[in-house]
Homo-oligomer: A and B are copies of this chain.
């Protein structure tokens, strides 16, 4: 209704409305309130205040707040507080103003006072993105806002006072602050300050700067970058070469760093839908609001035509380290028709665009992207990180290329080399065909013949990977998946296979049917294949040992670790060890060597293996936790089939998160803990690691540290994240070693709910998914809450038709 009045009168600002117009509007509001709520709008100020207080409390269970908590992993039981205080007003004429500032640049970390303000306005106007705000000072003006007046020039005395407060706050809090202020008739009021959200790049740069400024220690610097933020630094940026030759379609404010390329959509719902369909989308909005949060999450980039660096879109994107451009005035968005105009042309849903969120440039089409890890500041930060961590970080790599890339990210070995993955990728046709011949073999003779054909491919891959990792350990897992996974589905491929095997298609189909299983995840796979078809194990072990001998003879330092998957019974491991020993003798004899150094160990991914780890460690020299399968068996959740119920579980808070993303420390973690304690009771120097996907998830890495693992292993891109998480775990552990003083910390520890019987209790250390150091909770929620209070208050003021002092 306010918007309608302003539009009909041609007003730009709320302050343009006359008192009479406001009176008329208030009557309309009152009618609307009665219509919507069934009650008269209260005239009593206390009643209004209680209404406002109630609204804040109620907002905790609003759809948006709940959705926000789901995304951020904030527990429902935390609740919210209500702060009742006197108001000051920035909308009392041209000597009044309001603003939001950061003590340093939250986008890139630059040590400049950075912010936005509006004259004759309330805070709501700055963050809502309705008016494009003015820059705080001259130094931080950019292309987009150089024509607008800065506070520094408009109100130099007030700016000076504010700048002094900035310095005091940073010195006091030893961190970048997010400040809200109001100027009421020339007098500066500080509304609040809090540790400011920042991009990963900014977090890293500020942390490094503050160490140099002697404001914080190295360990504090390491704690200042959330592992998830590091992710952002590892994400691609627009290739500068490609950018140079492309024409900028529109410019906006660089609200979230990095590059993004994708198809544009115009509603949050579309963004979610398209992303679910596997598409990469950029969400384009005039401005965003909390209803858009899920769509913003689903998009790789966000573009708005309105709003400033502190607008909703900018704040949210920065919190997530997501590429974002706001206030791109050159584009106009028509969400209803799902089109946007830019450079005099019209674009539709599905058109491809590229954003450079670091510069604020919008390009038509998909530009090339490149890595961002060559940044020397990043390298220096990671050197700090490595000074603190105890856990080694390895990588899961299945090809020599992956292995080389992971070394670049700082991997200290390969924790999981999956023999079978050579059959999935490109150039896999020949080996895959030979593997299929082996699988469909009818007896040992046929199978041995097929394995002989397969051998050169397997050996070549293993040898090349071992060579790349010269000097570092490489864990090679023997064949894991059920054989039927590799049987061709298409008739023409079956025909080809049948011809090669000199059998009929019917015969082949029969053999394939024999391999069918009701629950293949718990079927004939892993070591069970090795026990029933020892010749498969023989072939793989021979490839590993021969590769090792040949490379060692070339002067390389090769450290292979033979890992048996899906073990649940110690005797399985003994059975396979007998094969390894036999092949070892044969290879030694063939090459005329006396010994070949290798380790023999097992995955721990079957619950029974964890429970009987004391026996298994009699044979195994190392354990590697396969937490994907351990989560499947431990929960009885088939990862392929959880779609029908796990989303409902997370929704209903039966589970705090998908346990395949964030390790379930209470149940699956208990199995891990039992396994490590029992294994080390048998073999004190047992090497223990993790190679499930949790190995790169920060809260899970912290758990691995606490239970005393030697290393984590994760995908190459997650190696730096795991290194940081490991360092933070070590720093946090050292901090926790000091006596705990406050009850809240104790309560938090207790909440982990460790069963009573378990010994060797790890130190209490926060909830999974949220490192203790992270500070985003009360602020993020506070903003939504404050907005509601502010709205209620505004309505009350408007109704009253006067402004109180």
Contact = CB atoms under 8 A, between A and B. Distances in A.
Interface of A: 517-524, 528, 531-532, 566, 568-569, 571-572, 575, 605-608, 611-615, 629, 632-638, 640-642, 644-645, 648-649, 652-655, 664, 666-668, 670-671, 674, 677-678, 681, 753, 755-757, 759
B518 A640 contact: yes
Contacts of A645: 524, 528, 531-532
Given A645-B531, A649-B531, A638 B523 contact: yes
B566 A517 contact: no
5 contacts: A517-B638, A522-B522, A608-B636, A612-B755, A674-B757
A644 B532 contact: yes
A524 B641 contact: yes
Given A528-B645, A638-B519, A633 B653 contact: no
Given A641-B523, A645-B531, A652-B531, A607 B671 contact: yes
B756 A636 contact: no
Report, nearest first, the 6 A-B pairs whose CB atoms are least far apart: A519-B638, A522-B638, A523-B641, A608-B667, A518-B640, A524-B644
Given A568-B667, A612-B666, A519 B641 contact: yes
B636 A606 contact: yes
A757 B678 contact: yes
Name which of A633, A636, A648 has the most chain B CB atoms within 10 A of its CB. A636
B519 A522 contact: yes
Nearest to A608: B667
Contacts of A521: 518-519, 522, 636, 638
Contact of A569 (B519, B566, B629, B654): B654
A668 B610 CA distance: 11
A116 B447 CA distance: 56
Contacts of A641: 517-520, 522-524
A608 B629 contact: no
B523 A644 contact: yes
Given A571-B655, A674-B757, 18 more contacts: A518-B521, A519-B521, A519-B640, A520-B638, A520-B641, A522-B632, A522-B635, A524-B641, A532-B645, A571-B653, A571-B654, A607-B607, A607-B633, A611-B755, A612-B667, A612-B670, A612-B755, A615-B753
Nearest to A677: B757
A677 B518 CA distance: 34
Contacts of A671: 607, 611
Contact of A522 (B532, B637, B668): B637
Contacts of A632: 522
A566 B638 CA distance: 13
Contacts of A655: 569, 571
A521 B755 CA distance: 27
A463 B521 CA distance: 39
A805 to B, nearest CB: 51
A626 to B, nearest CB: 11
Contacts of A633: 522, 607, 633-634, 636
A585 to B, nearest CB: 21
Nearest to A566: B636
B575 A654 contact: yes
A652 B531 CA distance: 9
